[in-house]
Chains A and B, each alone.
Chain A
Amino acid sequence: MNFKIPNFVKTNQFGLLCLVIIFICIFSFSTDGFTSRFNIYALSRVVALDIMIGLAMMVVILTGGLNLSLGALGVSAAMFGGWCMESMGIPISISIILVLAFGSFLGWINGFVTVRTGVHSFIVTLATMSIYFGFMTLLTEAEAFRKLPEIFTDFGSLKLFNKYISPLLIISVLTCFILYYVFKYTDIGRKLIAAGANPDAAELSGISVDRMFIYCHMLSGFLAALAGIMLTARIGAAIPSMAGHLGFDWLLPAFLAPVLGGTLLSGGKVTVFGTMLGAILVTLINNGLYLIDVGEFWVRFFLGMILLGAVLLDRAREYFTVKNSIVS
């Protein structure tokens, strides 16, 4: 009876991986179109965005905060990009750099106000959400940018690997690896985690916690802007309502992915690949729900149930692992 379970099995990621595989099996057996080339390609386009949004939220959750303005920020950045490319005629590469800088700047505002007032980032980003979105709607007059350069929009509909995978997914996976490297092996990454895990201790060991928190918000803005660009490339136009009113459509995947992935809401723990798996799971379930035809109006209901189920399961897992460790 005394066999040892490998540590990896106990982790959240392993459970997620199992869930992903189980869902893939269920959907590919119970529905026709799931494994078709078209569906896998469509999935890869969606999952790319969900991963990016999840990562953008994850880096703020690291500080023990939240970023409600994620969707509004991403859309504002994307609209800014549309304006740069279409109205100003700035070359694509420079436009993208400008957009990322703009996203980081909006993130900096979030971080700066949060740190300076000492108020929970929830309320700060709630306010900035409506400010960003309001200004964006006001300045664009709710008009879309539809005449983007063709190279840019073609990139969004490019098909790689025997037409199975979208290049957008490669960007997201690459971002995951970079973030993993940053958080695991670089000085600044470790400082960010330390500041999130125990601000007082970090401050005492010479880390400027305020600056780290601002960096996290800037990184969140950067990633959200990247997600905005990717969405623009995918749709082929920059549309003010592409993330819903106030960018709310991004909010559920943004929280689902890191929370499923095992990121602690109290801060101080990031799981880059957990977030990736979480995003994959969300997209799979979303896609599967449409394929098994639950009716589009019930999809939200099930997504909410899944989020609830996931956090409860996570709680149970924590409970059992704690009990196990006490016994051994």
Chain B
Amino acid sequence: MSNLLKKDWFGLGLVIILGSILISFFKPAFISPFNLYVLMLSVSLMLVVAMSQMIIIAIGQMNLSVGAIGGLVAISFTGLMEVYSMSILPAMLIGLLIGLACGFINGYITVKTGISAFIITLATLYIFKGMNLGITEAQPFYEIPDAVKFFGNAKILGPIPYLVIIPIIITILMWILMNRTSLGRYMLAYGNNVQSSELIGISSTKIVIYAHVISGLLAAIGGMLVVCRLQLGTPNIGDSWLLPSFAAPVIGGAILAGGKVDVIATAFGVILVSIISQALVIFKIDPFFVQIFLGFMILLAVFINRYREYREERRTKVFSYD
């Protein structure tokens, strides 16, 4: 039990459950099937984006180009289907390949030059976004095959949309990657201490490139899921991903210096952010407040993490005097 209390996701889970009960007590509309459906849609889209950022946070870097990759893939995916009348599967594969290539470029340049990933991904953010705008000239693609539209809007059972399937699979895979595979553990080791991880024989090149490639792939999947949801490919997909992509992992207790991320807590962070955004809408609060709220949530999470660290430090000090 005390082990459970120490987990990052436990407190978050509690907040989510209590919060949901409280909100639905005041506004029963909160647990209406339609609202749950909308909630699940927003959770599933942001889940992929958050995972895409989380894996880069794990190695102690940041990826500003997540949204730009998502947008580029989204318009390539729809453009290939509309302009070149490609069928869904090859278009999807090319979309994934673009995401992979973008991630590879980020990772390769970062690790080979040793320049901070922040600057590299800021540059590639503009490059990918510029390609996106150059190709589309800011015009959306509207011709989407029916199967894609169906996938984006149909429900499996009750309020559960088809769209949740892929994000859930991704979350499980990410959990396995970060907790049960040597690659994931190496990433955390690298994020925690670059030098010692190199000394024990972990290849930085491999770790950084793998992390960025996975991030690119996830951003690509996120972009395509948004296309399914919106039923069109607009060039501004991904523009607003930056803040939520950092919010969820940070609320989930990730340390930005690297070496500590929690997949489940990140997922809970996404759910919490979605519930709060949704609640603000239900209580008819100005949508701009959602943004302010998200900002405060990040600051709050930062303060809580800091406080916990502080307490932890004090506790270990007491033991060392024993």
Contact = CB atoms under 8 A, between A and B. Distances in A.
A297 interface: yes
Contacts of A216: none
B125 interface: yes
Interface string A106-135: 000000010001111011101111110111
Contact of B123 (A119, A138, A295, A311): A311
Contact of A308 (B127, B256, B286, B299): B127
Contact of A118 (B125, B128, B298, B306): B306
Nearest to B257: A120
B62 A122 contact: yes
Nearest to B131: A301
B286 to A, nearest CB: 6
- B interface majority secondary structure: helix
A134 B130 contact: no
Interface string A232-252: 000000000000011000011
Contact of A130 (B128, B133, B243, B305): B243
Contacts of B118: 66, 122, 265
Contact of A259 (B119, B126, B131, B240): B119
Contacts of A299: 130
Given A117-B302, A301-B126, A245 B295 contact: no
Given A117-B306, A138-B288, A255-B119, A130 B294 contact: yes
A117 B242 CA distance: 22
A304 B128 CA distance: 9
Interface in B93-124: 109, 113-116, 118-120, 122-124
B296 interface: yes
B89 interface: no
B168 interface: no
A281 B239 CA distance: 27
Interface in A286-320: 295, 297-305, 307-308, 311-312, 315
Contacts of B126: 252, 300-301, 303-304, 307
Contact of A124 (B128, B243, B302): B302
A137 interface: yes
Contacts of B109: 308, 312
A113 B62 contact: no
Contacts of B257: 120
Interface in B3-25: none
- Which of A117, A130, A131, A251 has the largest number of chain B CB atoms within 10 A? A130
Contacts of B115: 265, 311-312, 315
B123 A304 contact: yes
Contacts, number: 129
B285 to A, nearest CB: 10
Interface in A247-295: 251-252, 255, 259, 265, 295
Nearest to B128: A304
B34 interface: no
Interface residues of A, number: 42
Interface residues of B, number: 46
A295 B134 contact: yes
Interface string B247-288: 000100000110000000000000000000000000000101
Given A120-B256, A122-B62, A130-B243, A138 B295 contact: no
Contacts of B157: none
Contact of B299 (A127, A246, A315): A127
Given A122-B118, A308-B123, A308-B124, A138 B134 contact: no
A2 B126 CA distance: 44
Given A126-B298, A297-B133, A297-B134, A134 B123 contact: no
Contacts of B243: 126, 129-130, 246
A307 B127 CA distance: 10
- Which of B125, B136, B137, B292 has the largest number of chain A CB atoms within 10 A? B292
B150 interface: no
B129 interface: yes
A300 B239 CA distance: 14
Contacts of B131: 301
B298 A298 contact: no
Contacts of A265: 115-116, 118-119
Contacts of A118: 306
11 contacts: A119-B302, A127-B296, A129-B243, A130-B295, A138-B286, A246-B243, A255-B122, A297-B137, A300-B126, A311-B119, A311-B123
Interface of A: 66, 113, 117-120, 122-124, 126-131, 133-135, 137-138, 245-246, 251-252, 255, 259, 265, 295, 297-305, 307-308, 311-312, 315
Of all A-B residue pairs in the complex, the 8 with the closest CB atoms, nearest first, are A301-B130, A304-B126, A300-B130, A134-B292, A304-B127, A131-B295, A127-B298, A134-B291
